[in-house]
Structure 1
Amino acid sequence: LVDRRLMKCFAAKIAYVLCQDFEVFGEYFHMSASAGAAIYPDDGDTAEEIFKNADNAMYAAKNSGKNCWRFYDDTMQKTAYEKMLLTNSLRFAIQRQELSLYYQPQVRTADGVTVGFEALLRWHSPEYGTISPARFIPLAEQSKQIDAIGNWVLREACRFARRLADKSAENIYVSVNVSPHQLSGDGFIANVCNALREAGIQPSQLVIEITENALISSLKESNLKLRELQSLGVRLALDDFGTGYSSLTYLQRLPVKTLKIDKSFTDMILLDGSHKAIIASIVDMAHAMEICVVAEGVETTEQIDYLTKCRCDLLQGYVISRPVPEKDILPFLPRQP
């Protein structure tokens, strides 16, 4: 297997064999594989070094979209080192007060009135500058820091909701994204209750946003937790709808009353009529199930016009506002009499 051509064929065959549906107790599950390959002695002099570099190559395959494989190369070592430094720095981000929340308004399509804000996490590191959530959130998940960071976000967002209420804006909710790891944790419901109690806000002022990935691993268990949150009065939203496996029929099994159409669908408005019709169908079917629809990633007046025509309930995107720090939210609040 020292011949790279043979190893290439071998790795491709493994990925092909594993990428299929498997039946388990009458249910079908799709499996895929990400693989990394390192060759002795080109990629290391010891077994430990070879395994380490093969592992680096495997993570490079995952970052390339999964269900593929990669040979190790020297740039992966540099990437792994940078990842280690960022991960270590992230461990102290909360206590060093390097994390902050920015808020993006959600407005009613009919009249442009702000009804809520989505809390979006930002990391400003003195060492590495402003780091994209797309980069550090996966690091937090892989290093098991996501629970601590997620709980910090939850508490801060609830405190923000309290300050909104103090400005006579108690009808404006705050949405918080919850990771699959958070949702599956034993203490998740208690963390939500504690955050609400500490901030002194009504449960209806908080919206928990979940993605399909948070539900796929254990739909039954997740559904029980979501129904418990619903019974408390917390509102629930399904984020990034259309990017995974969910369907509107699937939504009927969940206590979700808000659906957020992913930006990739919103972008279709600028394409031909057949693509645009998909959005109208989603909105109509969601409304038939009494589900509120939010369009994400709205960036043009043309998109606003079409979404208005489709009777989409709420809009969120750069054409309304980029995410802003709390000090800049005043223009989006209702005017005091």
Structure 2
Amino acid sequence: MVIRQAGIGKSTDKKELEKTFIKTLLLMDFASLHELLRSTYDEMMPLCAQMTGIAKGIAGLGALFYIALRVWASIARAEAIDVFPLLRPFVLGFCIMFFPTVVLGTMNAVLSPVVQGTEMMVHQQEGNLAELTAKRDKLQEEAYLRNPETAYLVSNEKFDEKIEEMGIIGPEDAVTIAGMYAERAAYQTKQWIMKMVHDLLELLFHAAGLIIDTLRTFILIVLAILGPIVFGIAVWDGLAGSLTAWFSRYISVYLWLPVSSILTALLTKIQVLMIEKDIEALSDPNYLPDSGTWYYIVFFLIGIVGYFCVPTVAGWIIEAGGGIGSYGRN
């Protein structure tokens, strides 16, 4: 009886540790962290208005040289002045004055449906995964209970019944009971370790996605706040390419989140297909389950590595010159 109480104490401690670990994971709501990053961007986006004064000064001086050079060249060649090219500084100046609304508002309104569409894919797949995982776990436990050789490993009632079937416990049965406790403890320890590794890699998987989203938010905030300066510099001759580079970099970085969402949806769909295969196998009364959690762990490792390929893949969708383009090629 002392042996039995000690075994139950160890099992209870492991369950408490597992519950504590799961509670810690549940407290780290990654969805709310992603929402926090979006609200941070929305709150910091109006700060670009503080740069409009400097940008208007740069653009005004550039417009003076831009218009004067073209008007003087037309007069020197005794040609009619072409007014249409002279409108470019005024258009850029208008964009600078209403930068948060005209530029950022328009671009975000066009690109945000892409983010929302890919996130719907992820939510749909994650909902299916949660339902199928619960069904698979239930069938797996039932499969263990069907087998008399493994039922006592997963059920306290079956364990007690097996001890009661032994009748009066003598000295010769103490070794058998100790072996049963050791076998059950080894099984529970193995399952606990597999669960810990699975949960840890799942945590790292979501953390990798959060890292990508954090870097994306930081770069977008920098591009948004300094955007009016870029528009002002683009008025000057020889620096007009900075405007195209700014647009391409902003769009490329903005697409990091949709690309990472597609990767998450892909990996989740693969897990759904694997769990459906497990459910089909567990539906067979003669099937004996084994520890097949390892291939889920492999897919978490693939996802962690895949997240850091997101900037490269986003660079394939739209070529961004300068730093982002060079990073994507590397």
TM-score, scaled to structure 1: 0.19
User: Highest CA radius of gyration, 1 or 2?
Assistant: 2
TM-score, scaled to structure 2: 0.19
Higher helix share: 2
Relative contact order higher in (CA < 8 Å, ≥ 6 apart): 2
